[in-house]
């Protein structure tokens, strides 16, 4: 790259900075900028297109095209060359635009006389903002230096757009972070919440994208990189000999921090006229753009490492740390790209809701959110870049919708929904002590799911008859090392104390799949949900299983103890696990520890194979609990994390209900106690259908017990069963429509 080119680039950025400094309206600034860019690049046309909504670009300023086309010419994402630049976030540079793939002629612009076309995306940290275009009559491709210079200019435009430098009339020039936004996401924990945004990682704001003194900026960058390298080395030294995965991540950090190519590219950006912060953010934006396009999991992880390292470097340069000095609102709704269970527990019940840009319905964060009964949605695209601390926000965890900066109409409707839910809860409180007895005289046992000590107060308040599932993995997930047996024993004892004699079903360690312990080396499995998890891990690592069983026996201290093994796929797995329990009991007896008064040992039926286990299994197992979430995804071969397939299959599908009926009959024949545990148990319509199929015990989140009990007390299960049987005879795929008609006509 020549010094002359660098000088021209810096000159252009200096002229842009001067234009920005002028006290003028947003439209006037844009008009002046297009003139400056066209003049500096020797192009006859310079145009700036900005998004007016997530799918539509609008011509907002031009030098060279018809002035009447400004704010009139619009195109969809992917439409024409401009739309393709925006969609794919890549440069298009062609000497013959009309012949280029995707070209679309816009007659109102008068661009038919221009042959060459160079389009550069205007984007910031993966957030698309628009497209910068230059055109000429000459049939030529722009040089690599010219492309590079325009990318630098586009970076500055992105920063200035973010800072509100181009605010004017119309949707495309609307002030950023002010308009209402509706974000469709995925439900991970039901419930509705209203509050104000609290960003887990406050945004770094770059207020000086253009360098006044490139030499000084180079010094600042190199000093910051040196500081970053030292901090990474220190973290690596502290982690050596510890968790192998953490060391691996830090080794990747060190590799990037010492990358000469990474530093060279940022130095080149500074030589072009960017400030140190803007140069780092330009690299970060390009890494995020590549990350969004990458399909290879390993590459995405490495790009994520680079993104995180860039954040650290930006915080060193700007001094904008995690603690910005802002006060957390009294009604915080946490916004984050992702968050670990320990960090989430630090916030505790102070949060009203949680919105994650990434995450999954089975993630550690989702498990903690369910335990704390906090509404959670995941896959909320773009939320971390659009939301600002203090923004008004409403989270509909039932529908998987986020209303950011909602208008008055949405606020009114949402508050009506919350008020109706509160009113319903008052009504449910009046039946808290009454049994869930149906009109036909059948009584259903309603129990709650739990995973933290914080859940246990809900046992009394919800009207639950006991804890149908206590998830023991949370105590393992939130630590950086294996918990001690004494710690677990003390915790389990407190759980039993808080239950006041009510039955608590302790599920043994259920890890693997999407629940990986931070101190256990993860396996590189093509399909973790069908891989090394739960009872399979326990039987392969028997020392961990024995330690947990010992802790449970000592916690019982003579009281009844109920233990359930997860993800049992065949009889032999249950036999081996039960044999381990018997060995541990015998060892505890020899050590002089008090044994439980009574021990129940059950299994979770989460795989279709266990439904067809030998009769001997059903005779031997003390109880079974159907794990509906996993069972349904395996039954339908539909990943519950995959929105494209999971919604295709209904829990009230005739095939699934018939399958459950078969399990009920086998348990009735063997006298085996059976319950259903999962999200469907807590959904009123699904719950009454499960009861109609013969299930007499349901376990759910505490907040669902009231609504489920209320509907059970108002329904005739015999009549509902006839409706289901009639649907089967008709060949219905799902009995949901017939069930809803029955409920409406009998309400």
Does 364 participate in catalysis according to the annotation? yes
Establish whether 667 is a catalytic residue: no
Average pLDDT, the chain: 85
Q: Which is the catalytic residue, given 71, 304, 364, 403?
A: 364
Whole-angstrom CA distances from 294 to 91, 122, 252 are: 17, 20, 18
Residue located via tokens 């008004």: 392
Q: Identical fold at 181-196+329-421 and 431-746?
A: no
Answer positive or negative: Cα dihedral of 147, 149, 152, 153.
Answer: negative
Q: 410: how many CB neighbours lie within 10 A of its CB?
A: 15
What pLDDT is recorded for position 297?
58
Considering the four listed CATH numbers 1.10.274.10, 1.10.287.130, 1.20.140.10, 1.10.287.1080, the one that applies to the domain covering 214-318 is: 1.10.274.10
Percentage of the chain lying above the pLDDT 70 cut: 89
The pLDDT value given to residue 169: 74
CA atoms within 13 A on the CB side of 400: 14
Q: What's the rounded Cα separation, in Å, for the pair 469 and 618? A: 20
CA triplet 170, 176, 179: central angle to 5 degrees? 70
Query: What is the per-residue pLDDT across 638-681, written as a single tens digit (0 to 9) for each?
Result: 887 777 787 788 999 999 999 999 999 999 999 999 999 988 99
What CATH number matches the domain at 181-196+329-421, 3.40.50.150, 3.90.1150.10, 1.10.630.10, 3.50.30.10?
3.50.30.10
Order the strands of the 92-94 sheet from edge to edge: 74-76, 56-63, 45-53, 127-136, 116-124, 92-94
Exposure of 731 by Cβ count < 10 A (0-12 exposed, 13-18 middle, 19+ buried)?
exposed
Joined together, the tokens standing for residue 371 give 């335990």
Q: What is the pLDDT of residue 2?
A: 42
Q: How far apart are CA 738 and CA 370, in angstroms?
A: 31
Reply yes or no on whether the pLDDT at 469 is more than 90: yes
**Euclidean distance between CA atoms 319 and 629, whole angstroms:** 45
Domain 431-746 has CATH 3.20.20.60: yes
| Cβ within 8 Å of residue 414, ≥6 positions away | 192, 194, 394, 396, 403, 406
State how far the Cα of 405 lies from the Cα of 355, in Å rounded to an integer. Answer: 14
**Distance (Å, whole) CA 687 – CA 679:** 10
Domain ranges (residues) in the chain: 8-163, 181-196+329-421, 214-318, 431-746
DSSP summary character for residue 168: -
Residue 679 tokens, joined: 């999200």
Alpha carbon distance 147, 93 (integer Å): 8
pTM value surpassing 0.75: no
264 C-beta neighbours (distance < 10 Å), count: 10
Helix 684-692 / helix 717-730 crossing angle, nearest 10 deg: 90
b/e code 207-222 from CB counts within 10 Å (16+ = b): eebbbeebeebbebbe
Percentage of the chain modeled with pLDDT above 90: 40
Residues 6 or more apart whose CB falls under 8 angstroms from that of 442 comprise 691, 696, 717
pLDDT in the model for residue 479: 65
Contact 334, 200 (CB under 8 A): yes
Strands 443-450 and 467-471: parallel
Catalytic residue among 60, 667, 677, 689: 677
187, β-bridge pairs: 377
Options 2.130.10.10, 3.50.50.60, 3.30.360.10, 3.30.450.40; CATH of 8-163: 3.30.450.40
- pLDDT at position 653 is 95
Helix (H, G, I), strand (E, B) or coil at 51: strand
pLDDT of 480 higher than 70 = no
Closest CA relative to residue 574, chosen from 526, 619, 521: 619
pLDDT tens sequence across 363-406: 667 777 877 778 999 988 888 888 888 899 999 988 888 999 98
């Amino acid at each position: 790259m020549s010094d002359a080119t660098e000088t021209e680039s810096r000159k252009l950025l200096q002229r842009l900075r001067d234009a920005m400094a002028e006290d003028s309206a947003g439209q006037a600034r844009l008009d002046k900028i297009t003139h400056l860019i066209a003049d500096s690049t020797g192009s006859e046309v310079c145009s700036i297109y900005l998004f007016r909504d997530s799918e539509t670009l609008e011509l907002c300023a031009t030098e060279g095209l018809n002035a009447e086309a400004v704010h009139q010419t619009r195109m969809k994402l992917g439409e024409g060359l401009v739309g393709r630049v925006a969609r794919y976030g890549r440069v298009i540079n062609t000497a013959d635009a009309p012949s280029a793939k995707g070209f679309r002629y816009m007659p109102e612009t008068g661009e038919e006389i221009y042959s060459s076309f160079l389009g550069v995306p205007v984007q910031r940290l993966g957030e698309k903002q628009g497209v910068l275009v230059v055109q000429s009559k000459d049939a030529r491709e722009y040089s690599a230096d010219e492309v590079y210079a325009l990318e630098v200019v586009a970076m500055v435009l992105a920063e200035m757009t973010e800072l509100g430098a181009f605010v004017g009339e119309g949707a495309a020039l609307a002030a950023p972070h002010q308009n209402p936004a509706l974000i469709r996401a995925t439900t991970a924990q039901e419930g509705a919440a209203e509050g104000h945004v609290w960003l887990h990682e406050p945004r770094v704001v770059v207020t000086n994208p253009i360098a006044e003194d490139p030499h000084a900026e180079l010094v600042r960058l190199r000093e910051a990189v040196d500081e970053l390298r030292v901090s990474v080395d220190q973290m690596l030294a502290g982690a050596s000999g510890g968790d192998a995965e953490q060391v691996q991540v830090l080794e990747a950090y060190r590799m990037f921090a010492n990358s000469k190519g990474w530093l060279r590219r940022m130095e080149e950006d500074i030589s072009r006229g960017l400030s140190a912060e803007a140069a780092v953010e330009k690299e970060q934006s390009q890494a995020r753009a590549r990350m969004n396009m990458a399909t290879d999991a390993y590459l995405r992880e490495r790009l994520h490492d680079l993104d995180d390292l860039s954040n650290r470097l930006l915080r060193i340069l700007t001094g904008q740390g995690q603690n910005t000095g802002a006060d957390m609102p009294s009604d915080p709704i946490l916004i984050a790209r992702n968050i670990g269970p320990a960090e989430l527990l630090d916030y505790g019940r102070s949060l009203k809701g949680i919105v994650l840009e990434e995450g999954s319905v089975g993630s550690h964060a989702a498990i903690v959110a369910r335990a704390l009964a906090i509404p959670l949605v995941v896959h909320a695209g773009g939320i971390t870049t659009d939301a600002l601390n203090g923004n008004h926000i409403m989270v509909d965890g039932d529908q998987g919708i986020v209303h950011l900066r909602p208008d008055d109409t949405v606020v009114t409707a949402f508050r009506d929904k919350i008020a109706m839910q509160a009113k319903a809860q008052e009504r449910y409180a009046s039946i808290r002590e009454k049994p869930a007895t149906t009109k036909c005289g059948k009584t259903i046992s309603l129990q709650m799911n739990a995973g933290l000590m914080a859940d246990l107060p809900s046992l009394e308040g919800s009207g639950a008859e006991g804890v149908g599932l206590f998830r023991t993995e949370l105590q393992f997930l939130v630590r950086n090392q294996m918990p001690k047996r004494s710690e677990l024993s003390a915790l389990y004892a407190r759980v039993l104390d808080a239950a006041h004699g009510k039955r608590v079903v302790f599920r043994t360690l259920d890890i693997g799949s999407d629940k990986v312990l931070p101190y256990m080396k993860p396996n590189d499995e093509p399909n973790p949900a069908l891989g090394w998890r739960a009872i399979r891990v326990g039987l392969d690592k028997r020392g961990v299983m024995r330690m947990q069983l010992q802790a449970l026996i000592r916690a019982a201290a003579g009281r009844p103890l109920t233990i359930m093994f997860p993800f049992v796929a065949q009889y032999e797995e249950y036999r081996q696990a039960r044999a381990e329990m018997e060995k541990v009991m015998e060892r505890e007896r020899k050590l002089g520890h008090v044994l439980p008064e009574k021990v129940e040992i059950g299994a979770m039926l989460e795989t279709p194979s266990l439904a067809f286990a030998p009769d001997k299994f059903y005779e031997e197992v003390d109880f079974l609990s159907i794990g509906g979430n996993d069972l349904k995804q395996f039954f339908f071969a539909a990943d519950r994390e995959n929105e494209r397939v999971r919604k295709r299959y209904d829990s009230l599908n005739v095939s699934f209900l018939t399958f459950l009926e078969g399990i009920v009959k086998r348990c009735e024949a063997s006298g085996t106690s059976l319950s259903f545990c999962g999200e469907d148990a807590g959904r009123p319509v699904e719950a009454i259908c499960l009861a109609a199929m013969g299930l007499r015990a349901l376990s759910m989140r505490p907040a669902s017990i009231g609504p489920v009990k209320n509907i059970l007390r108002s329904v005739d299960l015999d009549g509902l069963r006839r409706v289901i049987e009639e649907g089967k005879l008709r060949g219905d795929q799902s009995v949901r429509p017939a069930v809803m008609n029955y409920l409406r006509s009998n309400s």
